Amino acid sequence: MRAFRNIVILTGAGISAESGLRTFRAEDGLWEDHPVEEVATPEGFARDPALVQRFYDERRAQIRAASPNPAHEALGRLDREFAGQLLIVTQNIDDLHERGGARRVLHMHGEGLSAWCRACDARHRWEGTLGDGPACPACGEAAMRPDIVWFGEMPYEMDRIFDALASADLFVSIGTSGAVYPAAGFVQQASANGARTLELNLEESLGSRNFDETRLGAASELVPAWVDEVLRD
Ligand code: APR
């Protein structure tokens, strides 16, 4: 494998599936029994905040009960040992990348263990519930919502992501269906900038044709093997 100097990795729900966190679009996916428009839009939150808070309170408890799997740990090792530039852009709201040892992580869709106060704009590490309307530790208002990017809202740190894609020589996508933009368009951007592109996924995704190479299988097997290759060269 060619020695790469600047790697951008995009991860999705598939990398956390083997940690027991449900994906979104599988037969048993989250969106099967939670209509997106009810629990993942600002309009849904305005209509029924209690329903939305309950949904994310449950997900927060599931995140805390989950543990990193070998895929997260392999990316933690890559982050520690790779001397080049690296950015892990995750669509996931769980903290399993960080608990797996990765540091160069960017949560483009927000974080489950974070609360955002709509009164004073402060963000707080939050492990408990929001359904009971707790006061914001900064301003005292009971105006906190999950710090999650909902459909129709702008993902976080897009400038930083575009900069990284502009200078990457390798783009790797792990455990994502390619169903949601702007993340689903990153492969074309990286490719247009001359990067080699690699997909690691359980099954063909909507974007597989856009990759130079696709490897099919479980993340817990594919990712450690790929990290070994990168660190060997
Ligand atoms: N190993 C590797 N890939 C896996 C595994 C696994 N163990 N299990 C599932 N996958 C793959 C599936 O084949 C699928 O292509 O992970 C992908 C999960 O796709 P989605 O459920 O659509 O999740 P994701 O792509 O992360 O969704 C993107 O959509 O709903 C919004 O904001 C939400 O961030 C999310 C975004």
C-alpha of residue 201 to centroid of ligand 1, in Å: 9
DSSP symbol at 24: S
**Phi, psi (5° rounding) for residue 37?**
-65, -20
- 3 state DSSP class of 157: coil
Do residues 120 and 144 touch, judged by C-beta distance below 8 A?
A: no
| Mutate-to-test residue for ligand 1 from 16, 24, 41, highest number of ligand atoms within 8 A of CB | 24
C-alpha of residue 180 to centroid of ligand 1, in Å: 10
**Phi, psi (5° rounding) for residue 143?**
-135, 30
Residues with CB under 6 A from ligand 1: 12-14, 17-18, 23-26, 29, 91, 109, 175-177, 179-180, 201-203, 205, 218-219
| pLDDT band of 33, cuts 50, 70, 90 | confident
pLDDT for res 2: 65
Q: What is the mean pLDDT of residues 93-100?
A: 98
| pLDDT band of 174, cuts 50, 70, 90 | very high
| pLDDT band of 25, cuts 50, 70, 90 | confident
pLDDT tens by residue, 102-143 = 999 999 999 999 999 999 999 999 999 999 999 999 999 999
C-alpha to C-alpha distance for 14 and 93, rounded to whole angstroms = 13
pLDDT for res 1: 55
Full-model pTM: 0.97
| pLDDT band of 30, cuts 50, 70, 90 | confident
Q: What is the mean pLDDT of residues 154-159?
A: 98
pLDDT for res 32: 74
Which residues are identified as catalytic? 109
Q: What is the separation of C-alpha 106 from the centre of its chain, rounded to a whole number of angstroms?
A: 8
Cis check for the bond before 182: say yes or no (omega within 30 of 0).
yes
| pLDDT band of 29, cuts 50, 70, 90 | confident
Residue 66: count of CB within 10 angstroms of its CB: 17
C-alpha of residue 124 to centroid of ligand 1, in Å: 27
